[in-house]
Structure 1
Amino acid sequence: MHPLGDAMQHLQLLARMGKHLGADLVEAFEAGKISPEDWAEMITSCRGCDAPEHCRAWLDSQERAEGEVQTDLPPSYCCNAARLLKLRDGDTS
Structure 2
Amino acid sequence: MHSTQTLKRHAGLVDAMAEAQGLDLEEQMLRGKLSFSELEDAVLACTGCAEPCQCEKWLNELDGKAAETPIYCRNASLFSDLKARS
- RMSD over aligned CA atoms reads 1.9
User: Which structure shows the bigger proportion of residues in helix conformation?
Assistant: 2
Matched with 1:11 is 11
The answer as to whether partners of 1:4 and 1:48 remain within 8 angstroms in 2 is no
Instruction: Report % sequence identity.
Output: 27
TM-score, length basis structure 1: 0.81
Matched with 2:67 is 72
Q: Distance in 1 between matches of 2:74 and 2:2?
A: 13
Alignment of 1:4-83 (within 5 A): 4=2, 6-62=6-62, 65-66=63-64, 71-83=66-78
Structure 1 or 2, whichever has the larger Rg, is 1
The answer as to whether partners of 1:24 and 1:88 remain within 8 angstroms in 2 is no
Consecutive unaligned residues in structure 2, runs of 5 or more = none
Q: Please tell me the residue identity of whatever aligns with 1:20.
A: A
Comparing 10-19 with 81-90, greater Cα deviation is found at 81-90
Q: Please tell me the residue identity of whatever aligns with 2:22.
A: G
Aligned length: 84
Shift of 1:89: 2.2
Q: Once the two structures are superposed, what CA deviation does each residue of 1:4-29 show, in whole Å capped at 9, x if it has no partner?
A: 57000101111000001012111111
The answer as to whether partners of 2:20 and 2:66 remain within 8 angstroms in 1 is no
Q: Distance in 1 between matches of 2:45 and 2:24?
A: 18
TM-score, length basis structure 2: 0.86
